[in-house]
Amino acid sequence: MATILELFARGELEKIDPQLAADEMEERQIFLVAGVADRLNALLNNMVYPWDTETTPAEQLDELVYHYATGGALDYPRQFHNLVHARDGIWELKTPDLRLFGWFPVRDCFICSDIADANVVKQTGQYAGYCEQAWFRRERLDLDEPKFLTGEEPSDVVSNCYRT
Amino acid sequence: MSFQIAIAPSRRAAARFIGKVRRRLQQALVDEPDVTRSDIARALDVHRSVITRQLSGHQDMSLGRVAEIAWTLGYEPEFVMRRRAELDGDNKPVLAIPAQEMKVTSSSMGASERPASIKAKVPA
């Protein structure tokens, strides 16, 4: 069994660099399970996104990572939910075109096990499958117990998530 | 190993700016519990779904629409530009030339009011 830093040192986790300015502090972190980065690059290069917005899925992801890392609000009452609990400690971070599935081993630290095209996930009803896969990858990861935080409210896993 | 999202720095700046504006409008809407998206849609004579898509990022917003939504929520938007050097941390070497600040509001800005750095670039 290993800590997050040991898994990072062993190459089993990659950390997303939020590319902050010198006066910005990283308040939250996102790690990728090994292999997710390659799948993400492939997805972003081949993705057809229907919303035809000014920002591409890669730019939306950068904005979400930036907002998350700098401690921005991730949930508002009744609307605009960027962070949603799926089940069994599996969480979903959302942009208009992407879904990030994973879990929080400690507060403010998200381990992402999959990134998917939101439109494909919605059209084909793959939510359960991605959650199952995240659960399976969490089980396989050689991470110290407890491997994930329980709780179904965003405030259970992220600090200051209700306010910017 | 760290993973970096491969986008151009200028597009990174654009995406983060768009996100900040959109998220600020979302927060303003939440801060006004008596105003709904339907109220905004009625005031702007568009369908409610348009406002929903624009606030959630599924549809682009013009600068005019940003101002319209802000106005409907009781706000006046303001646009501030700062030299990037001003944002650097304490470890950044001190610049020989002080960085300029440019602030643009909805009121018109006469040539005599413009900072020196802008006067040189804007024709009279």
ipTM of the complex: 0.92
Q: Are residues B51 and B106 in the same domain?
A: no
Q: Are residues B18 and B66 in the same domain?
A: yes
The reply to whether residue B15 touches residue A72, judged by beta carbons under 8 angstroms, is: no
The reply to whether residue A96 touches residue B56, judged by beta carbons under 8 angstroms, is: yes
String of b and e for B20-49 (b: at least 16 CB within 10 Å)? ebbbebbbbbbeeeebebebbbeeeeeeee
Q: Are residues A43 and A22 in contact, defined by beta-carbon separation less than 8 angstroms?
A: no
pLDDT value, residue B85: 64
Q: Are residues B68 and B90 in the same domain?
A: no
pLDDT value, residue B89: 59
What's the pLDDT band for B111 if we cut at 50, 70, 90? Answer: very low
More confident residue, B81 or A77: B81
CATH number at residue B28: 1.10.260
Identify all chain B residues contacting A164, using CB atoms and an 8 Å cutoff.
23-24, 27
CB proximity list for B110: less than 8 A, separation 6 or greater: none
More confident residue, B101 or B36: B36
Domain residues for the domain of B22 are 9-72
Alpha-carbon dihedral of residues B109, B114, B119, B123, nearest 10 degrees? 10
User: Is the model's pLDDT at B83 over the cut of 50?
Assistant: yes
Q: Are residues B24 and B40 in the same domain?
A: yes
Residue B2 in domain:
no
Identify all chain A residues contacting B25, using CB atoms and an 8 Å cutoff.
none
Q: How far apart are the C-alpha atoms of B108 and B114, rounded to whole Å?
A: 11
pLDDT value, residue B119: 39
Q: Are residues B63 and B86 in the same domain?
A: no
pLDDT value, residue B110: 40
Three-state DSSP at A121 gives: helix
Number of domains in chain B: 2
User: Is the model's pLDDT at B28 over the cut of 80?
Assistant: yes
Render pLDDT for A7-37 as a digit per residue (tens, 0 to 9): 999 999 999 999 999 889 999 999 999 999 9
Among B56, B72, B88, give the residue marking a domain's end: B72
pLDDT value, residue A77: 76
Determine the distance in angstroms separating the CA of B12 from the nearest CA of chain A, rounded to an integer.
7
The reply to whether residue A22 touches residue B56, judged by beta carbons under 8 angstroms, is: no
The reply to whether residue A53 touches residue B58, judged by beta carbons under 8 angstroms, is: yes
Q: What is the mean pLDDT of residues B30-57?
A: 95
Q: Are residues B13 and B68 in the same domain?
A: yes
User: Is the model's pLDDT at A86 over the cut of 90?
Assistant: yes
Identify all chain A residues contacting B60, using CB atoms and an 8 Å cutoff.
53-54
Residue B42 in domain:
yes
A58 touching B, CB under 8 A?
yes
Q: Name the residue of chain B whose CA is nearest to A54's CA.
A: B60
Residue B87 in domain:
yes
pLDDT value, residue B86: 60
CATH of domain A4-19+26-156: 3.30.2310.20
* Residue from the list B16, B59, B92 with its beta carbon closest to the beta carbon of A51: B59
Render pLDDT for A102-155 as a digit per residue (tens, 0 to 9): 999 999 999 999 999 999 999 998 999 999 999 999 999 999 999 999 999 999
Q: Are residues B15 and B66 in the same domain?
A: yes
Q: Are residues B64 and B42 in the same domain?
A: yes
User: Is the model's pLDDT at B7 over the cut of 80?
Assistant: yes
Residue B124 in domain:
no
The reply to whether residue A54 touches residue B18, judged by beta carbons under 8 angstroms, is: yes
What's the pLDDT band for A160 if we cut at 50, 70, 90? Answer: confident
Q: Are residues A81 and A95 in contact, defined by beta-carbon separation less than 8 angstroms?
A: no
pLDDT value, residue A48: 84
More confident residue, B1 or B36: B36
User: Is the model's pLDDT at B78 over the cut of 80?
Assistant: yes
Q: What is the mean pLDDT of residues A61-89?
A: 91
User: Is the model's pLDDT at B92 over the cut of 80?
Assistant: no
* Residue from the list B15, B19, B89 with its beta carbon closest to the beta carbon of A23: B89
